């Protein structure tokens, strides 16, 4: 569950570069899929996807082996420069044992997704050292605002993090911390505990989001993770959207009770997750969380092409 693997930062895209779409989790509506493709094409990119991407197998987009093969093939394909997931939902954890992490490390490409895709982002970072992107999936691109689309374009073309200043930020614990960012869905992160793909959060900044979880379940997940030692050495905490999770004051009280004994900066109000906006954040990038000034800023050199 710990790793000293050297980080791999993908190169940013250029106009005309090709983005591959994969479906590692649940099936999806074709209308949303093609709307998302149109948005990426309007940004100046070409898009490709495998023939079997529309396969449905119950609540999954095909068999575990086939979904993993899509991901492996996209990383191995020299014509593809970045990868965007079609949808989250459920199923990413099932494909983790079938991914070729050594080959993925040899072909570093930015992979973007959120929600259930958190499992994939964690595994790629843990096993391949790959900096990826927590951001919209292809089928949500037509439902987010301009701010999110601008952040997606920025991360795709620079693999870097633009400064995020929270207009409605809430400081749950003051302070400032710097370290690599782990960003993802709380439920999915909790389900990785005890597996070989559990992320090592020591000396990291964590940003969490979720939807449809009652406060007591949020308490239970965070308590389990804390008792399991997952948060040992955590440097800072950001709180994204907790949609349909009850009163946010109650969620904040739970988070403060669990994390305040750690004396780390805690900043809420990030437009990240299942809300109206879902700002793209490079997963694994070096950043500074400044709770006092309501900011998350970049502190690493992005991998621009010459």
- Same domain as 24, residue 129: yes
- Same domain as 178, residue 140: no
- Same domain as 168, residue 154: no
pLDDT at position 301 is 40
Contacts of 254 (CB under 8 A, 6+ apart): 215, 218, 219, 222
Q: Is residue 9 part of a domain?
A: no
Residues of the chain by 3-state class (helix, strand, coil), percent to 5 = 35, 25, 40
Q: 15-43 burial by CB neighbour count: b if 16+ within 10 A, else e?
A: eebebbbbbbbbbbeeebbebbbebbeeb
> Whole-prediction pTM value?
0.95
CATH number of the domain enclosing 45: 3.40.50.10740
- Same domain as 254, residue 221: yes
Which backbone phi and psi does 83 adopt, to 5 degrees? -135, 135
- Same domain as 26, residue 68: yes
Q: Is residue 108 part of a domain?
A: yes
- Same domain as 179, residue 137: no
> Of 117, 140, 158, which one is at a domain's C-terminal end?
158
- Same domain as 168, residue 146: no
End-to-end alpha carbon distance in the chain: 36
- Same domain as 217, residue 275: yes
Q: Is residue 8 part of a domain?
A: no
pLDDT at position 4 is 66
Give the catalytic positions in this structure: 115, 209, 274
Q: Is residue 111 part of a domain?
A: yes
What is the spatial distance between Cα 215 and Cα 2, in angstroms, rounded to a whole number?
A: 30
pLDDT at position 298 is 87
What is the spatial distance between Cα 306 and Cα 304, in angstroms, rounded to a whole number?
A: 6
Rg (CA), the chain: 18
Beta strands 295-298 and 164-165 are: antiparallel
Q: Is residue 303 part of a domain?
A: no
* Counted domains in the chain: 2
pLDDT at position 304 is 34
User: Which residue range forms the structural domain that includes residue 94?
Assistant: 18-158
Contacts of 237 (CB under 8 A, 6+ apart): 173, 205, 206, 207, 208, 255, 259, 264, 265, 266, 267, 289
pLDDT at position 178 is 96
Q: Is residue 306 part of a domain?
A: no
Q: Is residue 12 part of a domain?
A: no
pLDDT at position 3 is 53
pLDDT at position 299 is 72
CATH number of the domain enclosing 224: 3.50.30.60
- Same domain as 170, residue 141: no
List the pLDDT tens digit at each of the 306 positions of the chain. 445 689 999 999 999 999 999 999 999 999 999 999 999 999 999 999 999 999 999 999 999 999 999 999 999 999 999 999 999 999 999 999 999 999 999 999 999 999 999 999 999 999 999 999 999 999 999 999 999 999 999 999 999 998 999 999 999 999 999 999 999 999 999 999 999 999 999 999 999 999 999 999 999 999 999 999 999 999 999 999 999 999 999 999 999 999 999 999 999 999 999 999 999 999 999 999 999 999 999 875 433 333
- Same domain as 206, residue 101: no
- Same domain as 38, residue 152: yes
Half-sphere exposure of 237 (CA within 13 A, CB side): 26
> Of 117, 134, 158, which one is at a domain's C-terminal end?
158
- Same domain as 83, residue 189: no
CB neighbourhood size of 212 (10 A): 11
pLDDT at position 61 is 98
Q: Is residue 5 part of a domain?
A: no
> Of 96, 127, 158, which one is at a domain's C-terminal end?
158
Going from the C-alpha of 200 to that of each of 138, 149, 186, the distances in angstroms are: 28, 30, 15
Contact present, 80 and 22 (Cβ < 8 Å)? no
């Amino acid at each position: 569950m710990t790793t000293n693997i050297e980080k791999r930062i993908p190169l940013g895209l250029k106009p005309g570069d090709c983005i591959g779409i994969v479906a590692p989790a649940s099936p999806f509506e074709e209308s949303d899929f093609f709307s998302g493709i149109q948005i990426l094409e309007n940004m100046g990119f070409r898009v490709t996807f495998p023939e079997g991407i529309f396969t449905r197998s119950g609540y999954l987009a095909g068999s575990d082996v086939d979904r993993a093969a899509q991901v492996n093939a996209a990383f191995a394909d020299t014509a593809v420069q970045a990868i965007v997931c079609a949808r989250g939902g459920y199923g990413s954890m099932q494909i983790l044992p079938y991914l070729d992490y050594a080959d993925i490390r040899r072909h570093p490409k930015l992979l973007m997704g959120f929600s259930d895709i958190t499992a994939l982002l964690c595994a790629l970072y843990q096993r391949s050292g790959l900096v990826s992107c927590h951001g919209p999936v292809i089928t949500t691109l037509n439902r987010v605002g301009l701010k999110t689309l601008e952040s997606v374009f920025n991360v795709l073309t620079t693999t870097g993090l633009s400064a995020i200043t929270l207009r409605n930020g809430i400081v749950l614990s003051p302070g400032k911390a710097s370290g690599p960012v782990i960003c993802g869905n709380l439920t999915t992160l909790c389900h990785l505990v005890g597996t070989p793909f559990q992320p090592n959060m020591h000396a990291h900044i964590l940003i969490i989001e979720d939807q449809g979880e009652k406060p007591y379940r949020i308490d239970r997940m965070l308590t389990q993770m804390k008792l399991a030692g997952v948060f040992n050495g955590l440097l800072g905490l950001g709180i994204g959207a907790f949609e349909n999770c009850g009163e946010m004051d109650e969620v904040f009280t739970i988070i403060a009770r669990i994390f305040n004994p750690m004396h780390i900066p805690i900043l809420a109000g990030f437009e990240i997750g299942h809300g109206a906006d879902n700002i793209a954040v490079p997963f694994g990038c070096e950043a500074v969380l400044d709770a006092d000034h309501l900011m998350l800023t970049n502190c690493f050199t992005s991998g621009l092409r010459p």
